[in-house]
Amino acid sequence: MLEIQKTEIDKKENNSSKKNNDLLINKNVNEQLNTYINKLETLSRTYIYLSLWVLHNGRKGIAKHLETLSNKKEKYAKEVIDYLLDIGIMPEIKSIEIENDEISSLEDVIDIVYNKELKLKNIYNELLKTIRDNEETIFEPLILEHIKDYVEDLSMVNDFKNNKDNNKINNKDTKEQKDE
């Protein structure tokens, strides 16, 4: 599939002059993809930190869910990075810092994750719009696959958020710890 898509880029390049300083893709799409990569990298690090905090506070099951979210974000970033490298574009990865959100309870962790996932929705929408507006649809299948997984992730986080005030989280966490 990637070979076919590379051929489409080669055709596009041969049919028109190189645009935006010899980029093979539109400058706006490139900027949006780099924003996306950097946001995913930041989220991955943030979720690892939150996972460690939760684990330190005795919640192994929830820590595993946060680690899974972190791994997915890292995987998505790597896929886009590889995609860009495959078509000859060097991604722009900024310095990554873990955000210093105030955490004093499991509810704080769940709220942080929920709010960060909601912000990611805006990045997906803007990225997809930019890709479509600039007719760089070569990236669309990859981003749509990420969005599909994102909806599942948001549903899981939403379940945690909706259940944070009752014992469902505590029971699930305890059961997962016993299973290991």
Q: What is the pLDDT of residues 79-137, one digit of tens each?
A: 999 999 999 998 988 865 445 556 778 888 888 888 888 888 889 999 999 999 999 88
Residue 79 lies in a domain: yes
Angle at 104 between CA 102 and CA 106, to 5 degrees: 110
CA–CA separation, 82 vs 40, rounded Å?
14
Residue 168 domain flag = yes
How far is the C-alpha of 172 from the C-alpha of 180, rounded, in Å?
13
In a domain, 5, yes or no: no
Closest CA to 39 of 144, 102, 122: 122
Mean pLDDT throughout 164-180?
51
Averaged pLDDT for residues 20-25 = 60
Give me the CATH number covering residue 123. 1.20.1260.10
Give pLDDT, residue 96: 52
Taking residues 157-173, report their average pLDDT: 66
Phi, psi of 31 (to 5 degrees): -65, -45
> Looking at the whole model, is its pTM more than 0.85?
no
The whole-angstrom separation of Cα 13 and Cα 16 is: 5
Please report whether residue 119 resides in a domain: yes
Using CA atoms of 8, 13, 15, 16 in order, give the dihedral in degrees to the nearest 10: 140
- Per-residue tokens: 11: 């055709």
Per the domain annotation, does 10 fall within a domain?
no
Q: Is 23 helix (H, G, I), strand (E, B) or coil?
A: strand
pLDDT at position 119 is: 86
More confident residue, 32 or 111: 32
Q: How many domains does the chain have?
A: 1
What is the b/e burial string over 75-103, where b = at least 16 CB atoms within 10 angstroms of the residue's CB?
ebbebbbebbeebebebeeeeeeeeeeeb
The yes-or-no verdict on residue 147 having pLDDT over 60 is yes
Residue 38 in domain: yes
Domain of 127, in residue numbers: 25-174
pLDDT band at residue 6 under the 50/70/90 scheme: very low
For residue 16, being part of any structural domain is answered with no
Answer with the residue of higher pLDDT: 11 or 134: 134
Residue pLDDT, tens place only, 37-89 = 999 999 999 999 999 999 999 999 999 999 999 999 999 999 999 999 999 99
Residue among 155, 51, 36, 138 at smallest CA distance from 94: 36
Residue 66 lies in a domain: yes
pLDDT value of residue 95:
63
